[in-house]
A and B are shown apart, each in its own frame.
Chain A
Amino acid sequence: MGYAVKSFAQFPQFQVFIALFADVRSETLSTVKSELVGANKQYDYCFLNTNHLVSVEQLYSSIYRSISNFVNETMRAKTLNTEIIFNLAPINNIMDALKRFGVDESCNNVIVIKVINSHDVVDNTFDNEFTNLLSLLEVSESSSIELSDNILFSLVNIPKLKKLFKLNDANYSNDTSHLQAELTRLTIGAALLRGC
């Protein structure tokens, strides 16, 4: 399926590479984790598990705020990659956020994000990133799937998400077809008010 490239009207100076991979082996994930801890330059991506992601909008909201913080020099985390993870979380602790949203050996679906300066983008930049990821994650092209609301909704762990975002007491409509929309609004709100 490949990858998606997202850009924000407010920040044309950046382009965001996003890809979703399924069935990544747990052993590979632990390698990724230890390489991330070791700050290996090859692994300069934001890796997310899909347990607590309910929609593309929730993800974009965090990327947008992270880039905004990066531009305004108000980042809380050291790197933009970690800032994206931190801005997804409703908890005001970067380590906790990494644990919940970062690579997790027990979740084989991985979202990979990289924010690239538009000046550095050449014809094959994104293809190269994609190929690099296939080898890092030890997967074939077939395990890359489209990043869409339907897919994310099928991968999310709703009870865990509700617990993490403290949304069990929220008022939901009886029509369950609105659940994704409602959870999107509530998770974005909770992350926005983290630590406030």
Chain B
Amino acid sequence: MTDRLVSQIQNHLPNIPVQVVSQGAEALVFQTSVHPYIDKPYLKNQGKYIIKYRPSKPYRHPTIDASITKNRTIGEVKFMNKLTKLGINAPSVISADYNRGIIWMEFLGTELTNGDISSLKNWLWYLEKNESKEKCLNDQVQSVCRKVGKLIGKLHLNDMIHGDLTSSNIILEDFEPALIDFGLSSYSGLSEDKAVDLYVLERAILSTHSVFSDHYNQWLLEGYEEIHKEFSKQGGTKKYVETYRKLEDVRLRGRKRSMLG
């Protein structure tokens, strides 16, 4: 399955060496050493780039398939471009081919000592596996968690919803978090949607980092609150209270508001 898709992308992008980084239901993520059009781009990491590829789905009607691929690719580029414009840490777009569902983007993150990519998940796992309890809950972890909370707060203050917040979709670059993977992103000003976004992260943390999840989640929320207070003039405090109240509701009933779908 993957082999077929890899040969598809190699057909689309001849002479570009690609390595699969991850595969989701809808897209494949590749890493490459070749920039499509310049050797020294204005990016933090040079010589490493990401290609996200949405292959066509054979089970969909070809016309609908083409339009879905195109619209979702455009949507994702739009979202990422908006984040760049707002100065919210996320990869910038290098190029895109909407009809083929290809997005070239900036590579973010570094390698941890064990060779894994520096996502929040991998970093916390590394600490949990190799370090003492004290080290897992030290000031640095706390500060990173708060920064993540602030980052998500910034996103929500701009009425943008990530849609798939997990600790592996947060990449650390010199302990500064950045968001990745906007395949499920949307725009909404509703506190309900923001609360669900937070709830998804809360559950993700609970299941991937169960031992210290209480602490992590608390710090994340503290950061989230903090950034809202900083923007209290734009109604940040009010928005925080609303979202937090909703979050308490969502915790009781789960992610879905209706029993359908």
Residues of A within 8 A of B (CB): 8-10, 12, 55-57, 60-61, 63-65, 68, 72, 74, 167, 169-173, 180-181, 184-186, 188-190, 192-193, 196
Contact = CB atoms under 8 A, between A and B. Distances in A.
B173 to A, nearest CB: 15
Given A9-B36, A10-B14, A65 B95 contact: yes
Q: Which 6 pairs between the two chains have the least Cβ-Cβ distance?
A: A171-B87, A181-B42, A64-B37, A189-B81, A60-B37, A170-B85
19 contacts: A9-B15, A9-B16, A10-B13, A10-B15, A56-B38, A57-B38, A57-B41, A72-B100, A167-B85, A169-B85, A170-B87, A173-B87, A180-B42, A185-B42, A185-B92, A188-B94, A188-B95, A189-B84, A192-B77
A116 to B, nearest CB: 17
Nearest to A169: B85
B38 A60 contact: yes
Interface string B74-103: 100110110011110000111111111000
Give the size category of B's interface with A: 20 to 34
A79 B197 CA distance: 46
Contacts of B14: 10
B6 interface: no
A192 B81 contact: yes
A184 B42 contact: yes
B81 A8 contact: no
Of listed B80, B86, B96, residue having the most chain A CB within 10 A: B96
Contact of B85 (A63, A171, A196): A171
Interface of B: 13-16, 34, 36-38, 41-42, 74, 77-78, 80-81, 84-87, 92-100
Given A9-B36, A60-B37, A188 B93 contact: yes
Given A57-B37, A190-B81, 5 more contacts: A57-B41, A57-B42, A167-B85, A185-B42, A185-B84
Contacts of B99: 72, 74
Given A55-B42, A64-B36, A185-B84, A193 B74 contact: yes
Nearest to B36: A64
A196 B41 CA distance: 25
A193 B78 contact: yes
A181 B46 CA distance: 14
B85 A192 contact: no
Nearest to B44: A181
Contacts of B84: 185-186, 189
B73 to A, nearest CB: 10
A181 B84 CA distance: 12
A189 B93 contact: yes
A186 B85 contact: yes
A18 to B, nearest CB: 12
B42 A63 contact: no
